[in-house]
Amino acid sequence: MPQTPACTAVLDAGGYSRSLFQSGEDDRGGLYYHDNSLLSGSLEALIQHLVPSIDYYPDRTYIFTFLLSSRLFMHPYELMAKVCHLCFEQQRRSEPGLEKSWIRKIAPKVLQLLTEWTETFPYDFRDERMMRNLKELAQRIASGDE
């Protein structure tokens, strides 16, 4: 996580130093970085950054921080619905005929994300809407396993 710079670093001889907080936008759409640290992004971009893909898995600190802070903006069951939707969209975009292969590659990463979520915030899963989404995602993952 980026840390707030000391007051002396924020102020230069003329007052506030604007260059300290300038950031570059990532090519993933809407994520802003400074010195390779994620500073901000739209809610949708941050959710997409949470969802693993075949060649990407989010950092554990990001997972914890996002799951903790996201509840300020949405209910956990809404977040789970969005995560499920993004996983299903990735599956839909996979090459026809290779769905089972895609599921076998992505399943361990999705299961790892769900494991971290259930172990860190178990009370999120007391909601029936949350469990419905979890069961649907688990059934999709299990369909690729023989």
Query: Helices marked H in the chain — which ranges?
Result: 7-10, 43-50, 60-70, 76-93, 99-120, 128-143
From the CB of residue 53, how many other CB atoms can be counted at a distance below 10 Å? 16
Are 98 and 137 part of one and the same domain?
yes
Strands 31-34 and 37-41: antiparallel
Q: Are 104 and 145 in contact (CB under 8 A)?
A: yes
Q: What is the CATH number of the domain that holds 62?
A: 1.20.870.10
* 30 φ/ψ angles, rounded to the nearest 5 degrees: 90, 5
pLDDT digits (tens, 9 = 90+) for 112-135: 999 999 999 999 999 999 999 999
Which of 10, 25, 41 is the C-terminal boundary of a domain? 41
pLDDT at 125: 94
pLDDT at 97: 67
Q: Tell me which long-range contacts 96-101 makes (C-beta under 8 A, separation of at least 24).
A: 99/144, 100/143, 100/144
Are 68 and 111 part of one and the same domain?
yes
Are 34 and 51 part of one and the same domain?
no
| Four-CA torsion 111, 113, 114, 120, nearest 10 degrees | 140
Are 29 and 46 part of one and the same domain?
no
Are 88 and 134 part of one and the same domain?
yes
pLDDT at 7: 42
Are 54 and 37 part of one and the same domain?
no
Q: What is the pLDDT along the chain (146 residues), one digit of tens a residue?
A: 444 444 444 444 444 333 444 444 444 568 999 888 888 999 999 999 999 998 999 999 999 999 999 999 999 999 999 999 998 888 788 777 667 777 888 889 999 999 999 999 999 999 999 999 999 988 888 876 54
Which amino acid does the sequence have at 144? G
CB-count burial class (<10 Å; 0-12, 13-18, 19+) for 23 = middle
Are 12 and 69 part of one and the same domain?
no
Are 117 and 78 part of one and the same domain?
yes
What is the domain count for the chain? 2
Are 129 and 90 part of one and the same domain?
yes
The range of the structural domain enclosing residue 111 comes to 42-143
Are 61 and 98 part of one and the same domain?
yes
Q: Locate 49 and state its tokens.
A: 């950054």
Are 15 and 50 part of one and the same domain?
no
